[in-house]
Amino acid sequence: MIMGLIWPLTVVAEEELNADEVRRWAIRELRNIGSSIGHRQARLIADTVEEGMGSGTDVLRG
Amino acid sequence: MQRATAAPDDILRMHQTLASNSGWGNGDKPLGHLSFRLSRLRAAATTGGADTTEILETAIAMDRELDAWAGNVPENRKYTVTNPQGSGSGSQRHVYSSIWAAQTWNNYRTLRILVRQLIVPRCKLGERGTHVALIRRLSGEVCVSAGCYQKSPSKYFAFFCCEGEGANVCK
Protein backbone atom coordinates (compact mmCIF):
# COMPACT_ATOMS: atom_id res chain seq x y z
CA MET A 1 0.00 0.00 0.00
CA ILE A 2 2.92 2.33 0.61
CA MET A 3 3.72 2.13 -3.08
CA GLY A 4 0.16 3.19 -3.80
CA LEU A 5 0.93 6.54 -2.23
CA ILE A 6 3.80 7.29 -4.59
CA TRP A 7 1.61 8.30 -7.50
CA PRO A 8 -0.68 10.67 -5.57
CA LEU A 9 2.28 12.27 -3.79
CA THR A 10 4.12 12.65 -7.10
CA VAL A 11 1.14 14.41 -8.68
CA VAL A 12 0.83 16.71 -5.66
CA ALA A 13 4.56 17.49 -5.70
CA GLU A 14 4.55 18.15 -9.44
CA GLU A 15 1.50 20.40 -9.47
CA GLU A 16 2.77 23.92 -9.95
CA LEU A 17 -0.51 25.40 -8.76
CA ASN A 18 0.11 24.02 -5.28
CA ALA A 19 1.94 26.13 -2.74
CA ASP A 20 5.66 25.45 -2.51
CA GLU A 21 5.36 24.24 1.07
CA VAL A 22 2.76 21.65 0.01
CA ARG A 23 4.95 20.46 -2.85
CA ARG A 24 8.01 20.24 -0.63
CA TRP A 25 6.04 18.33 2.00
CA ALA A 26 5.04 15.79 -0.63
CA ILE A 27 8.68 15.54 -1.74
CA ARG A 28 9.77 14.88 1.85
CA GLU A 29 7.14 12.18 2.20
CA LEU A 30 8.36 10.55 -0.99
CA ARG A 31 11.88 10.57 0.46
CA ASN A 32 10.53 9.11 3.69
CA ILE A 33 9.00 6.27 1.70
CA GLY A 34 12.31 5.76 -0.02
CA SER A 35 14.31 5.69 3.18
CA SER A 36 11.79 3.77 5.29
CA ILE A 37 11.26 0.83 3.00
CA GLY A 38 14.15 1.26 0.61
CA HIS A 39 11.95 2.13 -2.33
CA ARG A 40 14.39 3.65 -4.80
CA GLN A 41 11.73 4.86 -7.20
CA ALA A 42 10.24 7.09 -4.52
CA ARG A 43 13.64 8.62 -3.79
CA LEU A 44 14.31 9.10 -7.49
CA ILE A 45 10.98 10.80 -8.02
CA ALA A 46 11.58 13.08 -5.02
CA ASP A 47 15.00 14.08 -6.34
CA THR A 48 13.70 14.62 -9.86
CA VAL A 49 10.68 16.64 -8.78
CA GLU A 50 12.74 18.81 -6.45
CA GLU A 51 15.25 19.43 -9.20
CA GLY A 52 12.39 20.30 -11.52
CA MET A 53 11.04 22.85 -9.07
CA GLY A 54 14.27 24.67 -9.37
CA SER A 55 14.68 24.40 -13.11
CA GLY A 56 11.02 24.74 -14.10
CA THR A 57 10.83 21.32 -15.76
CA ASP A 58 8.02 18.89 -15.13
CA VAL A 59 8.43 15.13 -14.65
CA LEU A 60 4.84 14.32 -15.58
CA ARG A 61 4.31 16.75 -18.35
CA GLY A 62 7.72 16.46 -19.98
CA MET B 1 -0.21 8.39 -17.44
CA GLN B 2 3.22 9.75 -16.53
CA ARG B 3 4.33 9.97 -20.14
CA ALA B 4 0.97 11.22 -21.39
CA THR B 5 0.58 8.22 -23.67
CA ALA B 6 -2.65 6.35 -24.27
CA ALA B 7 -3.18 2.99 -22.63
CA PRO B 8 -3.24 0.16 -25.22
CA ASP B 9 -6.69 -0.84 -26.45
CA ASP B 10 -6.14 -4.43 -25.37
CA ILE B 11 -5.68 -3.42 -21.76
CA LEU B 12 -8.82 -1.31 -21.87
CA ARG B 13 -10.80 -4.20 -23.35
CA MET B 14 -9.43 -6.56 -20.72
CA HIS B 15 -10.39 -4.14 -18.01
CA GLN B 16 -13.90 -3.82 -19.36
CA THR B 17 -14.23 -7.59 -19.44
CA LEU B 18 -12.92 -8.14 -15.95
CA ALA B 19 -14.40 -5.12 -14.23
CA SER B 20 -17.24 -5.88 -11.90
CA ASN B 21 -19.12 -4.06 -9.25
CA SER B 22 -16.61 -3.77 -6.44
CA GLY B 23 -19.03 -2.28 -3.99
CA TRP B 24 -18.01 1.28 -4.72
CA GLY B 25 -21.09 2.13 -6.78
CA ASN B 26 -20.86 3.49 -10.34
CA GLY B 27 -20.51 -0.11 -11.53
CA ASP B 28 -20.37 0.92 -15.16
CA LYS B 29 -17.88 3.72 -14.60
CA PRO B 30 -15.22 2.40 -12.25
CA LEU B 31 -12.17 4.51 -11.54
CA GLY B 32 -9.99 2.18 -13.56
CA HIS B 33 -12.04 2.84 -16.68
CA LEU B 34 -11.86 6.57 -16.09
CA SER B 35 -8.10 6.36 -15.70
CA PHE B 36 -7.74 4.67 -19.09
CA ARG B 37 -9.86 7.35 -20.71
CA LEU B 38 -7.84 10.04 -19.00
CA SER B 39 -4.59 8.55 -20.27
CA ARG B 40 -5.99 8.78 -23.79
CA LEU B 41 -7.12 12.34 -23.30
CA ARG B 42 -3.74 13.39 -21.91
CA ALA B 43 -2.05 11.70 -24.86
CA ALA B 44 -4.30 13.57 -27.28
CA ALA B 45 -3.59 16.85 -25.50
CA THR B 46 0.15 16.23 -25.69
CA THR B 47 0.32 15.04 -29.29
CA GLY B 48 -2.20 17.52 -30.68
CA GLY B 49 -4.60 14.74 -31.59
CA ALA B 50 -7.61 16.81 -30.58
CA ASP B 51 -8.40 20.50 -30.61
CA THR B 52 -8.60 22.64 -27.51
CA THR B 53 -12.38 22.74 -27.39
CA GLU B 54 -12.70 18.99 -27.68
CA ILE B 55 -10.13 18.42 -24.94
CA LEU B 56 -11.80 20.96 -22.67
CA GLU B 57 -15.29 19.53 -23.18
CA THR B 58 -14.09 15.97 -22.68
CA ALA B 59 -12.16 16.91 -19.55
CA ILE B 60 -15.15 18.75 -18.10
CA ALA B 61 -17.37 15.74 -18.77
CA MET B 62 -14.80 13.48 -17.14
CA ASP B 63 -14.61 15.78 -14.13
CA ARG B 64 -18.39 15.51 -13.75
CA GLU B 65 -18.11 11.72 -13.84
CA LEU B 66 -15.49 11.79 -11.12
CA ASP B 67 -17.66 14.10 -9.05
CA ALA B 68 -20.54 11.69 -9.52
CA TRP B 69 -18.33 8.79 -8.49
CA ALA B 70 -17.48 10.53 -5.22
CA GLY B 71 -21.13 11.36 -4.66
CA ASN B 72 -22.23 7.76 -5.16
CA VAL B 73 -19.75 6.10 -2.82
CA PRO B 74 -21.60 3.84 -0.36
CA GLU B 75 -21.69 4.95 3.25
CA ASN B 76 -19.40 2.14 4.37
CA ARG B 77 -16.67 3.30 1.98
CA LYS B 78 -16.72 6.96 2.94
CA TYR B 79 -14.12 8.52 5.20
CA THR B 80 -14.48 10.91 8.08
CA VAL B 81 -12.43 13.97 8.93
CA THR B 82 -11.44 14.56 12.51
CA ASN B 83 -9.49 17.27 14.29
CA PRO B 84 -7.29 15.59 16.88
CA GLN B 85 -7.14 17.29 20.24
CA GLY B 86 -4.05 19.31 20.88
CA SER B 87 -2.84 18.98 17.34
CA GLY B 88 -3.04 22.66 16.62
CA SER B 89 -5.49 24.68 14.66
CA GLY B 90 -6.12 23.46 11.18
CA SER B 91 -4.85 19.93 11.81
CA GLN B 92 -6.92 17.21 10.36
CA ARG B 93 -6.93 13.45 10.22
CA HIS B 94 -8.75 11.18 7.84
CA VAL B 95 -10.33 7.98 9.07
CA TYR B 96 -10.94 5.37 6.38
CA SER B 97 -12.69 2.04 6.60
CA SER B 98 -9.60 0.26 5.31
CA ILE B 99 -6.24 0.81 3.67
CA TRP B 100 -7.83 -0.06 0.34
CA ALA B 101 -10.54 2.53 0.82
CA ALA B 102 -7.89 5.15 1.51
CA GLN B 103 -6.00 4.09 -1.59
CA THR B 104 -9.14 4.30 -3.72
CA TRP B 105 -9.93 7.76 -2.45
CA ASN B 106 -6.41 8.91 -3.26
CA ASN B 107 -6.71 7.44 -6.73
CA TYR B 108 -9.90 9.44 -7.20
CA ARG B 109 -8.19 12.62 -5.97
CA THR B 110 -5.21 12.07 -8.24
CA LEU B 111 -7.35 11.44 -11.31
CA ARG B 112 -9.39 14.53 -10.64
CA ILE B 113 -6.28 16.69 -10.22
CA LEU B 114 -4.98 15.40 -13.56
CA VAL B 115 -8.31 16.14 -15.25
CA ARG B 116 -8.33 19.66 -13.85
CA GLN B 117 -4.79 20.13 -15.14
CA LEU B 118 -6.24 19.74 -18.62
CA ILE B 119 -9.05 22.18 -17.88
CA VAL B 120 -7.13 25.05 -16.26
CA PRO B 121 -5.06 26.17 -19.26
CA ARG B 122 -8.04 25.85 -21.61
CA CYS B 123 -10.93 27.34 -19.69
CA LYS B 124 -11.99 30.97 -19.48
CA LEU B 125 -9.84 33.13 -17.26
CA GLY B 126 -12.68 33.87 -14.90
CA GLU B 127 -13.31 30.17 -14.33
CA ARG B 128 -9.76 29.23 -13.46
CA GLY B 129 -10.05 30.12 -9.80
CA THR B 130 -12.61 27.41 -9.15
CA HIS B 131 -10.53 24.74 -10.85
CA VAL B 132 -7.33 25.82 -9.13
CA ALA B 133 -9.07 25.79 -5.76
CA LEU B 134 -10.21 22.21 -6.29
CA ILE B 135 -6.73 21.10 -7.32
CA ARG B 136 -5.33 22.60 -4.14
CA ARG B 137 -8.08 21.11 -1.98
CA LEU B 138 -7.58 17.62 -3.40
CA SER B 139 -3.81 17.95 -3.03
CA GLY B 140 -4.32 18.88 0.59
CA GLU B 141 -6.52 15.85 1.12
CA VAL B 142 -3.82 13.59 -0.33
CA CYS B 143 -1.34 15.11 2.11
CA VAL B 144 -3.70 14.73 5.06
CA SER B 145 -4.41 11.13 4.19
CA ALA B 146 -0.70 10.38 3.99
CA GLY B 147 0.30 12.43 6.96
CA CYS B 148 -1.56 10.73 9.79
CA TYR B 149 1.77 9.62 11.18
CA GLN B 150 4.49 12.13 10.78
CA LYS B 151 8.20 12.08 11.06
CA SER B 152 8.75 8.60 12.40
CA PRO B 153 9.90 6.06 9.83
CA SER B 154 8.99 3.26 12.23
CA LYS B 155 5.40 4.35 12.07
CA TYR B 156 5.46 4.96 8.39
CA PHE B 157 3.61 1.80 7.51
CA ALA B 158 0.60 3.00 9.46
CA PHE B 159 -0.12 5.53 6.80
CA PHE B 160 -3.82 5.76 7.16
CA CYS B 161 -6.05 5.86 10.18
CA CYS B 162 -8.18 2.84 9.51
CA GLU B 163 -11.05 1.94 11.78
CA GLY B 164 -10.49 -1.74 11.35
CA GLU B 165 -6.84 -1.49 12.31
CA GLY B 166 -7.12 0.99 15.12
CA ALA B 167 -5.01 -1.07 17.49
CA ASN B 168 -2.03 -0.85 15.19
CA VAL B 169 -2.17 2.73 14.14
CA CYS B 170 -1.37 6.10 15.56
CA LYS B 171 1.25 4.78 18.00
Contact B69, B34 (CB under 8 A): yes
The residue length of chain B stands at 171
Give me the residue from B2, B106, B114 closest to A5, CB to CB: B106
Give the tens place of pLDDT for each residue, B73-107.
888 889 988 876 655 545 778 888 887 888 889 99
Q: pLDDT at residue B160 above 50?
A: no
- Residue B89's alpha-carbon distances to A19, B81, B84, B92, B168, in angstroms, are 19, 14, 10, 9, 26
pLDDT in tens, B5-48: 676 666 665 555 555 445 555 545 578 878 888 988 988 888 87
More confident residue, B149 or A34: A34
Instruction: Specify the higher pLDDT residue, B42 or B153.
Output: B42
Q: State how far residue A52 is from chain B, nearest Cα, in angstroms.
A: 15
Q: Closest residue of A to B145, CA-based?
A: A5
H or E stretch covering B82:
strand B80-82
Chain B residue numbers touching A16 (CB-CB < 8 A): none
Q: Which helix (H) or strand (E) holds A10?
A: helix A2-14
The B-side interface with A (CB below 8 A) comprises 1-4, 46, 99-100, 102-103, 106-107, 109-110, 113-114, 117, 120, 132, 135-136, 139-140, 142-143, 146-147, 153, 156-157, 159-160
Looking at per-residue pLDDT, the higher value among B111 and A61 belongs to: B111
Residue B94, beta-bridge partner list: B81
| Under-70 pLDDT residues of chain A | 1-3, 55-62
pLDDT the model gives residue B140: 92
Report the 10 Å Cβ neighbour count for B161.
21
B112-144 per-position pLDDT tens digit: 999 999 999 999 999 999 999 999 999 999 988
Q: Which of A17, A29, A36 sits opposite B146 (nearest CB)?
A: A29
Interface touch B103/A18, C-beta < 8 Å: no
Averaged pLDDT, B153-163: 36
Order of strands, sheet of B80-82, starting from the edge strand that comes earlier in the sequence:
B80-82, B93-96, B161-162
d(CA A32, CA A36): 6
Which pLDDT value is given to residue A10? 93
pLDDT at position B149 is 39
pLDDT at B165: 39
Looking at residue B159, its pLDDT comes to: 38
Mean pLDDT on B149-160: 36
pTM (whole model) above 0.90 = no
Query: Whole-angstrom Cα distance, residue B94 to residue B41?
Result: 31
Rounded CA gap, B67 and A16, in Å?
A: 23
Alpha carbon of residue B40 to chain centroid: 17
